[in-house]
Structure 1
Amino acid sequence: MKSVLAVCLGLLAASSAVAADVPATLQGRWLAEDIGGGGVVDRLQTTLEISADGTFFGQGGCNRYRGQLTAEGAAIDFGPAAATRMACPPAAMDQEARFFEVLTGAAGFSYDEETRKLTLSDDAGKPLAVLARSDERAQISIAVPGADAVERNQVAYRCGEETVIADYINAGAVSLVTLTRGETFTVAANVIAASGAKYAGDALVWWVNGDDATLFDLTKGEDDPGIPCAPDA
């Protein structure tokens, strides 16, 4: 059998043999258009991405976040989310805080097929936020012979003053990692290393040893000591 890796701008979305745990109408990438009836800040994107297995993640407005949800019928429950801890301008932090309050209070959802918009509501049916579907992205599909499933694991790292979101993707003999650093997105492939797991892509090398990693910038030359990275708990 063959497995397909879908490489997307900003994210690699992978199919697997596991049945979907959440309704198909919830799955995909969403962009907040209104939070708590107060709209959103122009050009400040708050996003929500929901996977078939119930994993949710995105950009709150300043920080990346990730958690697990359950959904059945028109009911939804967002579990506790882990988020990075960057400081941003007050407007961004305010929008992010309001959005996280929405996730905490959401108990139901509805989807309008015509407008392609998702409404999250509280347990009394009061709308908390409106999000628009935002799935249009360029894709590259790679068929992997001999692989019948894709394994994924996303980890947030603190690299000096920077947060790096590493999304590890494995299918058969193919081993990739995507690195998201602010608006910069890099796809790196596993290469031979004396120890740990080493990935190279563009001008970056991502070397993982145990729970920690080191980020190297090849444009700085062979003497670059790299930036130590630790999981952002």
Structure 2
Amino acid sequence: MLKVITAVSCACVTIEMGSMQPVAAEDVPQQLVGTWLAEDIGGGGVVDDLQSTLEIREDGTFGGMAGCNHFTGTFSLSGTKITFGPAASTRKMCVPAAMTQEQKFFEALRSELSWTVEGSKLVLVKAEGATAMKLALMTAGSQGADVTIRVPGADAVDRQAVRYDCGGKAVEAQYINAGAVSLVTFTIDGTFVVASNVISGSGAQYAGGQYIWWTEGDEATLFDVTKGENDQGIACKPAP
């Protein structure tokens, strides 16, 4: 068991599914459709490395990850007004910071809102004029940016790619070593992670974003720190 963050009991936000009917597909403006990442909730910002997402679909349904739990529901539209209906969510418990952001995220969606899209930004405003949430469009695809880092004193870079089976999920980890710098990169659940080696009592431990990657011998264990100190991790075994 890896003790990374001390968790405190916290009630999970769970909303029961209502009878709201989705809007017709042809009535959903195309600029609203997509997956949006919360950049600010109620003027209080968001937690770094904790993603709260809102997916607005052409069929009049919405969903996403609030911070700890996945959710789904339907919405209605009237011009620039949008009302998100009651949603059903999973019932996981995460660390207090994740649960607090999730609660604020759900509360921001509960009232009738006005929406505007400016470029790649979606702004949701409450009836009294206060900004409920600001979100950025998440784009899918293979495009990305190359990052070059010069490591003083390093003569060469050693790279090793290893494929793992992590609880039924295929994960390819790339270990990068240059002088005193030791990194591992991998993608899990659509999230690209760069983790840096940190002090460990045994094996090699890497920390990046919400994840801890711990290797011992040929095997590894993946921990999600948002699940708190009781997370047993996912065992990752070498795959062909």
SS of 1:38's equivalent? coil
Tell me the equivalent position of 1:86: 92
Tell me the equivalent position of 1:31: 37
Tell me the equivalent position of 1:99: 105
> Offset of 1:138 from its aligned partner?
4.2
Per mean C-alpha deviation after superposition, the further-off stretch among 64-73 and 88-97 is 64-73
Is the CA contact (8 Å cut-off) linking 2:71 and 2:87 kept in structure 1? yes
1:45-60 aligned at under 5 Å gives the runs 45-60=51-66
> What amino acid maps onto 1:184 in structure 2?
D
Tell me the equivalent position of 1:67: 73
Distance 1:101 1:19, change over 3 A: closer
> Offset of 1:30 from its aligned partner?
0.3
> Offset of 1:90 from its aligned partner?
0.2
1:83 & 1:122 partners in 2: Cα distance? Answer: 23
> Offset of 1:105 from its aligned partner?
2.2
> Offset of 1:45 from its aligned partner?
0.3
Give TM-score, length-normalised by structure 1: 0.50
Give TM-score, length-normalised by structure 2: 0.49
> What amino acid maps onto 2:44 in structure 1?
G
> Offset of 1:98 from its aligned partner?
0.1
> Offset of 1:122 from its aligned partner?
1.0
Tell me the equivalent position of 1:184: 189
Tell me the equivalent position of 1:40: 46
Q: Which runs of 5+ in 1 are unaligned?
A: 1-17, 140-182, 186-218, 220-233
Is the CA contact (8 Å cut-off) linking 1:22 and 1:72 kept in structure 2? no
> Offset of 1:126 from its aligned partner?
1.6
Tell me the equivalent position of 2:128: 124
Tell me the equivalent position of 1:222: none
Considering only aligned residues, what root-mean-square deviation do their CA atoms show, in Å? 2.5
* Regions of 4+ moved over 3 Å: none
Distance 1:79 1:19, change over 3 A: closer
Aligned length: 127
Distance 1:138 1:51, change over 3 A: farther
2:142 & 2:74 partners in 1: Cα distance? Answer: 26
SS of 1:61's equivalent? coil
1:134 & 1:20 partners in 2: Cα distance? Answer: 22
> What amino acid maps onto 1:102 in structure 2?
A
> What amino acid maps onto 2:134 in structure 1?
V
Is the CA contact (8 Å cut-off) linking 2:25 and 2:60 kept in structure 1? no
SS of 1:99's equivalent? helix
SS of 1:91's equivalent? helix
> What amino acid maps onto 1:88 in structure 2?
C
Larger of the two Rg values belongs to structure:
2
> What amino acid maps onto 2:26 in structure 1?
A
Query: Greater strand share, 1 or 2?
Result: 1
